[in-house]
């Protein structure tokens, strides 16, 4: 049986931002600046700042007019020096944009992985979704490598154990921060949601708090049978990162 030259190509990234209205007319202290310096939030008083030592870090806001967190329907206000460090921008990155599995032999699974990194400054955290455009498909679209069913039954929404070399298909596992609980360990896999059959993109990573550089690994796996036709197979996986409020 000839080897199957299978290359899986990953083309990325949709990052969605949630727009929020911001009042542009404010009455407060602004910046003090000249050609040689710039002072932001120029409120000099008895206890503002972040004193530190080898064993502690203290965020103080003594002397300000109205420090605290104020909320209502549709908005929140963070007032006070202690909230300066929470002004974190939203960012999303992927460690690589191609997963080349190379030549495959029957009943010899191959794996590869990439890392997702999310920094989220929104009060509600973030979510990352994934979706494939179609199953792994050869160059003339006559053959596919199906999405895995694992050793029993798994789907785009529910992971299951996949360890047997006689279980075929393409799937993924997650490890790291903020991943779904059905990825119990490195043996549990899911299918990617398939856009060609109108399956909705599924959440694969998410947190509810402001956070910096949370990371998770997407671990890909493919395994073929002895009757899988030879060819070059590929598809596209899209990751959607969404800040939440």
Query: How confident is the model over 76-111, as pLDDT tens digits?
Result: 787 776 665 556 778 999 999 999 999 999 999 999
Cα gap 48→61, rounded to integer Å: 5
Tell me what the mean pLDDT of segment 156-172 comes to: 98
Write out the two tokens for 184.
């119990």
Q: Give the global pTM.
A: 0.69
Which of 52-61, 114-123, 218-227 shows the lowest per-residue confidence on average (mean pLDDT)? 52-61
What phi, psi does 204 have (nearest 5°)?
A: -120, -5
| Residue bearing the bigger pLDDT, 25 or 240 | 240
| pLDDT at residue 73, as a whole number | 86
Q: Are 233 and 8 in contact (CB under 8 A)?
A: yes
| pLDDT at residue 20, as a whole number | 40
Q: Where in the chain are the domains? A: 4-17+90-243, 44-86
| pLDDT at residue 100, as a whole number | 93
Asked whether the predicted pLDDT for residue 2 surpasses 60, the reply is no
The DSSP secondary structure of 115-177, one letter per residue, reads EEEEEE-STT-EEEEEEESSSEEETTSS-EEPBP--SS---SS--EE---TT--EEEEEEEES
Q: Match 């050793």 to its residue by tokens.
A: 151
Q: Are 204 and 122 in contact (CB under 8 A)?
A: no
| pLDDT at residue 202, as a whole number | 97
Write out pLDDT tens, residues 5-16: 333 334 433 333
Kindly indicate the confidence band of residue 62, based on its pLDDT and cuts at 50, 70 and 90: low
| pLDDT at residue 223, as a whole number | 97
Instruction: Determine whether 30 is exposed, middle or buried from the number of CB atoms within 10 Å of its CB (0-12, 13-18, 19+).
Output: exposed
């Amino acid at each position: 049986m000839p080897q199957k030259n299978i290359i899986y190509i990953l083309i990325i990234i949709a990052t969605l931002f949630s727009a929020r209205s911001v009042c542009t007319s404010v009455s407060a202290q602004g910046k003090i600046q000249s050609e040689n310096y710039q002072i932001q939030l120029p409120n000099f008083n008895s206890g503002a700042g972040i004193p530190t030592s080898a064993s502690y870090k203290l965020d103080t806001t003594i002397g300000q007019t109205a420090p605290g967190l104020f909320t209502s329907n549709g908005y929140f206000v963070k007032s006070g020096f202690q909230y300066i460090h929470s002004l974190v921008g939203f960012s999303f990155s992927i460690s690589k944009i191609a997963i080349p599995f190379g030549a495959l032999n029957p009943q010899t699974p191959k794996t590869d992985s990439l890392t997702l990194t999310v920094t989220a400054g929104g009060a509600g955290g973030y979510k990352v979704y994934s979706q494939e455009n179609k199953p792994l498909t050869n160059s003339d679209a006559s053959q596919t490598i199906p999405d895995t069913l694992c050793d029993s039954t798994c789907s785009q929404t529910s992971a299951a154990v996949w360890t047997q070399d006689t279980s075929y298909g393409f799937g993924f596992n997650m490890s790291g921060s903020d991943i779904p609980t059905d990825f119990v360990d490195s043996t549990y896999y899911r299918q990617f949601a398939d856009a060609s059959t109108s399956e909705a993109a599924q959440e694969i990573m998410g947190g509810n708090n402001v956070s910096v550089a949370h990371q998770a690994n997407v671990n890909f796996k493919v395994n073929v049978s002895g009757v899988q036709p030879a060819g070059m197979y590929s598809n596209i996986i899209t990751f959607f990162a969404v800040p939440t409020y």
